[in-house]
Amino acid sequence: MENENKKIFMAITAAMGEVKAVGKNQKNTQQNYSYRGIDDIANEMHSIFSKYKIFVTPDILDHSREERQTAKGGNLIYSILKVKYTFWTIDGSSVDCTVIGEGMDSGDKASNKALAGAYKYALTQIFCIPTAEAKDSEKDTPEPVTEPERRSTSSSFSAKATEAQIRCINTILAGNEAKRTQIKNNYKIEHLKDLSKEQASFLITSLDKDKEKLKKVVGGNERLEDYY
């Protein structure tokens, strides 16, 4: 049919913007693979179809059916359906999608399974349903430079570290000369007293993130805030 208003195009593209990922949460234990179930996909699309006034009609264009034998000697019905799905909206405009569905069953469900498979792939392909959520934005964000790198590239440093800060760092680092050397190398300094106040503050919080323990380090008569 001639799509004069073509509202179906607007409806489908709008619906695509709301489709959430449908993962491969179903398991075929016999052949040991994961897959996306038609129920999961249909449930995801139902409210979206209702919102954007989309409905679907199937038209079976071709159907072949044959009997096969299982490894144990039983009968297995194998069905292949060629189905044209038409996606409609309220102005009568539509888009067609023709897919192949296959299904096997030892009873009378082979064609049902083939039809379900065909519908699943029609929905998946028309609406580009993802198998996984979009990447976490934190994973897409470049790693920040380390604190020493950020400080060393800064055009200016803040005031020198206070005596209280240096005393606190020395107390935390007591007996850990390797860590002390590493800090000096990272900040490119000869002595800890050459640290800026900001650098010292960062070190204190990174070296001992347990505030209760830190209070014991700095002493009960001093304010923890003085070290930041």
- Which alpha helices (H) appear in the chain, and where do they start and end? 7-16, 38-52, 110-126, 137-140, 147-152, 163-172, 177-187, 197-207, 211-218
Q: Is 30 exposed, middle or buried (0-12, 13-18, 19+ CB in 10 A)?
A: exposed
- Other CB atoms within 10 A of residue 58 CB: 14
Across 106-116, average pLDDT: 90
**Superfamily of 7-126 according to CATH:** DNA repair protein Rad52/59/22 (3.30.390.80)
The pLDDT value given to residue 186 = 79
For residues 50 and 53, what is the distance between their CA atoms, to the nearest angstrom? 5
CA 46 – CA 52 distance, rounded (Å): 10
- The pLDDT tens digits for 35-93 are 677 888 888 899 999 999 999 999 999 999 998 877 777 888 999 999 999 999 999 99
Mean pLDDT value of segment 7-35: 80
